[in-house]
Structure 1
């Protein structure tokens, strides 16, 4: 809805300003135009004088209710008709509110952690950002596929295979934890006996050549690790459409094709190893022993992406920035579209740094279990059945993790503090879930007392009611911004603003014990808030609880 209001503002300003960068959201208006400051600077005049001159020739159109000038800003306010249409649209479209009509095939690759053990808290941020983006893209109308790109050919996997051959797997443990145990033991053996490095290299060479005596062990170890990783991702309400193994791009000829494309343009230098000179440093594509590198197979994967998707997004840790630049540059050199990359900074906990190789890491499983236990304690005193307490505790725990991991912009580092994440009074998932549950409670009581037909009356809106409706109108607009900027934190920030304003509304206004006209009006607002909070939480993979 907000996009329609903004469209009318831009249309109103068409003769003066066609650049929408000069039309911005404001604390003092629904939209504000700053073009007078630019023109005043060019004309060496007072911006207030220029703004007044512009405003004299503007007439409200469409959803614009009022135009006024304050200190050089041309302020626009939405009409009562806009407020009424916003509430009616939300109530009429219900679960479809926020949906857009964007089209196209989109691939989102996320998580893609090495299958040499369980995913840790850094991988969790990758997974949650990627899964949230996929949900938001689908809401916008795109045909979305999600991939986990399985690195089954790297040195780490060869070491895990060596560990399996030397020590076996502890079948009593969760599969990914059993794999990392073998991996850590193998690393310890290599430190004691460096000659084992030759065996690791031989395993890598044999697997790249798909030798029968190693393929079974590699497939077994990677499959066991993925089995455990999938279990963890399910706990986080994350699902991948496909697990794509990088070795497939050797089998299907895409690696040969990508090397040929680079070679045909005389980009590859062959001096034992094959490499391409880039500004920052040479990129090796093939070792002297004939084996390819991760980037070689990844280039092949992106050739396949170019052939099958219109837009593709990769979620990568900030330590992959150089790699990302190299990947994109190499693709551009052979006229292939590079991926859009979301780089995220890492997560820290009081326990300190993590190293899978040394066996010192905080697994996602540990963190999930800890937050779940604490959520159980919080809901234990509620007057609910045991089954309902368990369900709510799980929803609160998963919400706490997913919301806190996504609410910080990807490019900013974050510290996850489970105590703060579970605080119902802070800016958390629990806070938003509780606002939704409060809406549901009000509506339940209204039904029990004979709920009237809902009828929003814009002419009787108080300031906080008007503010709330304007925020609700921005839900599709926020989704549009995420699609453009690839920042799912916009949705989290938006939901907090809805919950905050709704709580202001709840503190200032009675709903159920008002006269019929006002009760119908306010119940319409409450129901619209419920719909927006539910739809928004779903975009972040969080359950919108009806009771808490």
Structure 2
């Protein structure tokens, strides 16, 4: 990477200076590089001299002078780094030779071919998807694209909880609650059935025992109810998979929870846990009869909330396995730590599924596991990690990452537009499948498609449906992961601001400019740069130079929103350049340079759009 090379040279200079002053540290100094907003203070800047001044008992300006002299001595000035200067009270400022930079090829460090399993979506197969589920899928798919772009071998899983309470409730509804109405998809019908059965539970609390009975029958897997549950779940999953594909989201493997139980994965995991003294059966209190996982490093949590008490239960007193138990078994398999494997068959073209029949394939055996699950599952995810540690698999526990994110609610305007009563004046409206409150993904796409279609003057580019899907996807990605999104479909489709529509429009604008050029524009021959870059040219160039760094940081930190922030800044700087600098007018040398810069921008933004899963339109 571009900045990494500079950082390495600067770190070498710092280490040499530190050693010469007799202040060798246990670890080499970590140099932080920043890009100052004002280019007068350098294209990159570091405050390392001020950080080390107290330790080395030397004035920051004097120390900065020594580091700068050493940087020049080792030959780091004269190529990409044009010059290096110091500024009060001790900043080291580096100025880039952009002509030299343009001729270099910088690529991020590869992921060394490590195999990463990313699990995302993993929606209960009991009804249609809503907008909150889609945020999970968009985050997960963006991470898949980011890690693949940085050299990782990524395997994508969608875990199907076909033995959970939600599917059991839907089956109870199918068997016990009559319902009629206009429904195009089975998942939409089950959406209403699920809400209806929960209303019945509220009216007839004694009816809740039917859920437990159904759960037992689903887990046994050999009767009428089990087959009904399996057929319902498979039909709904097919609808989920098709719906996600319309957003460009695909999977390599569907893992069915029922297969984990039927193939004896939990039996093998349980046998391993029973060899420790941390998996015990409670004999008294609220959890009497339950098998639980004790936590030596978290005894304080044992007296915590009731939810946390339940999360550490692996087998209930009635013998039913909890989600966490099956998840522990699943993760042992993910890392190749169980003496079990699935059989595999094709679910759709290119998509495989676990099953009782099929063929052996090379799924699993990951070096690293990433789970995209909302923040409410933080404690159960911690239990899985702690189970790995209890079993002695500490290396694998360190390679297990939970990408947590905030849930999605609706703005009052969006909620009202979808027929939800907003007379109570709330600032946002949470979705609840049990109450039938929420926005189905299909309904939202249709609504936004209609809104976009009604306001478009030129309809010869991307279809309104593709634009709607891309706009929704970007809107759900651009927020910090921990942010709880209040979704507003009007904001998501605006042509200006930090939106997917704005990015696609800007990409198409660059393409239109390049199509008007008299000669083809490419990156093979870098033109002669002007002696003095325009402010807008320099700002765009600086942003282009940080793409590989941004991609690598997003890969390391698992933060796709970082790519969105970069993309919006890049598009804004190009549009500023487009307005301030006539691209197709002026002297020949100026036109050649600005066309090259436009081409470089479009190629970079194209890579960004691919990573985010957005189209690269020739026109909007």
The normalised TM-score by structure 2 is 0.81
Task: Provide the rounded CA distance (Å) in 2 between the counterparts of 1:268 and 1:43.
Answer: 52
- Map of 1:317 onto structure 2: 374
Equivalent residue for 1:335?
Answer: 392
Q: Distance in 1 between matches of 2:453 and 2:327?
A: 43
Q: Which runs of structure 2 are paired with 1:84-103 in the superposition (5 Å)?
A: 84-86=102-104, 89=105, 100=110, 102-103=112-113
Displacement of 1:154 in angstroms is 1.0
Instruction: State the shift of 1:12 in Å.
Output: 4.2
- Larger RCO, structures 1/2 (Cα 8 Å, 6+ apart): 1
Q: Does the aligned pair in 1 maintain the 2:44–2:94 contact within 8 Å?
A: yes
Alpha-carbon distance, 1:168 to partner:
6.8
| 2:332 aligns with one of 289, 299, 303 | 303
Q: 1:43, CA displacement in angstroms?
A: 4.7
State whether structure 2 residue 515 is matched by structure 1 residue 515. Answer: no
Change in 2 beyond 3 A, CA 1:377/1:8: farther
Distance 1:12-1:471 versus aligned 2 partners, 3 A rule: farther
Question: Shift in Å at residue 229 of structure 1?
Answer: 1.8
Please say if 1:273 is aligned against 2:267: no
Q: Which residue of 2 aligns with 1:256?
A: 267
Task: Give the Cα–Cα distance (whole angstroms) in 1 for the partners of residues 115 and 128 of structure 2.
Answer: 31
Query: Of 75, 79, 85, which aligns to 1:68?
Result: 85
Q: Which residue of 1 aligns with 2:194?
A: 183
Shift of 1:195: 3.2
Distance 1:251 1:194, change over 3 A: same
The answer as to 2:45 corresponding to 1:32 is yes
Q: In 2, are the aligned partners of 1:456 and 1:525 still within 8 Å (CA)?
A: no
Tell me the distance in 2 between the aligned counterparts of 1:198 and 1:39: 67
RMSD: 2.2
Out of 124, 135, 138, the residue aligned to residue 114 of structure 1 is: 124
Q: 1:452 to 1:324 in 2, by over 3 A?
A: closer
SS in 2 for 1:289: coil
2:492 to 394, 398, 421: 421
Secondary structure, aligned partner of 2:516: helix
Distance of aligned partners of 1:322 and 1:263 in 2 relative to their CA distance in 1, 3 Å threshold: same
* 2:439 paired residue number: 362
Cα pair 1:84 1:457 within 8 Å, conserved:
no
Which residue is 2:62 aligned to? 49
* CA–CA separation in structure 2 for the residues paired with 1:187 and 1:419: 32
Instruction: Summarize the Cα distance change of 1:294–1:100 in structure 2 as closer, same or farther, 3 Å threshold.
Output: same
Contact 2:171 2:229 in 1 (8 A): yes
Q: Secondary structure at the match of 2:71?
A: coil
514-523 vs 123-132, greater mean Cα deviation = 514-523
Structure 1 partner of 2:537: 465
Q: Which moved more, 1:459-468 or 1:320-329?
A: 459-468
Q: Is the 8 A contact 2:119 2:371 kept in 1?
A: yes
Contact 2:118–2:140 at 8 Å: present in 1 too?
yes
**CA-CA distance at 1:146 after TM superposition:** 0.9
Pair 1:507–1:14, CA change in 2 (3 A): farther
Q: C-alpha displacement at 1:14, in angstroms?
A: 4.1
The 3 A distance-change label for structure 1 pair 360 and 26 is same
On the 8 A contact 2:521/2:599 being kept in 1, the answer is no
- Which stretch of structure 1 is more off in the superposition, 437-446 or 507-516? 507-516
Aligned to 1:93: none
Once the two structures are superposed, residues 316-371 of structure 1 have per-residue CA deviations (whole angstroms, 9 ceiling, x without a partner) of: 11111222222211221112323200100122212312111111122222222222
Q: Is it true that 1:124 corresponds to 2:141 in the alignment? A: no
Q: Deviations over 1:482-509 (max 9, x none)?
A: 1110001111111112112112211221
Asked if the contact 1:98–1:139 (Cα under 8 Å) also holds between the matched residues in 2, the reply is no
Tell whether the 8 Å contact from 2:446 to 2:465 is kept in structure 1 after alignment: no
Give the unaligned 5+ runs of structure 2: 19-27, 284-288, 303-308, 337-364, 416-428
- Per-residue CA deviations over 1:51-107 (Å, capped at 9, x if unaligned) read 234323330515221100112111112224532224xx49xxxxxx77946411111
Q: Does 1:456 align with 2:466?
A: no
The answer as to whether partners of 1:233 and 1:239 remain within 8 angstroms in 2 is yes
Instruction: Name the residue aligned to 2:229.
Output: 218
Q: Cα gap change, 1:457/1:175 in structure 2, threshold over 3 Å: closer, same or farther?
A: farther
d(CA) in 1 for partners of 2:314, 2:519: 71
Q: Is the 8 A contact 1:149 1:246 kept in 2?
A: yes
Higher mean alpha-carbon deviation, 64-73 vs 201-210, is at 201-210
The range that moved more, 290-299 or 315-324, is 315-324
SS in 1 for 2:139: helix
Q: Residue 31 of structure 2 contacts residue 48 of structure 2 at CA under 8 Å; is this kept in 1? A: no
TM-aligned CA distance change 1:19 to 1:370, over 3 Å: farther
From the superposition, tell whether residues 521 and 400 of structure 1 become closer, same or farther in structure 2 (CA, over 3 Å): same
Q: Does 1:535 align with 2:604?
A: no
- Which residue number in structure 2 is paired with residue 83 of structure 1? 101
Contact preservation (8 Å) 1:176, 1:227 = no
Determine which structure has the larger helix proportion and give its number. Answer: 1
Q: How does 1:129-278 map to 2 (within 5 A)?
A: 129-167=139-177, 172-270=183-281, 271=283, 272-278=289-295
SS at match of 1:58: helix
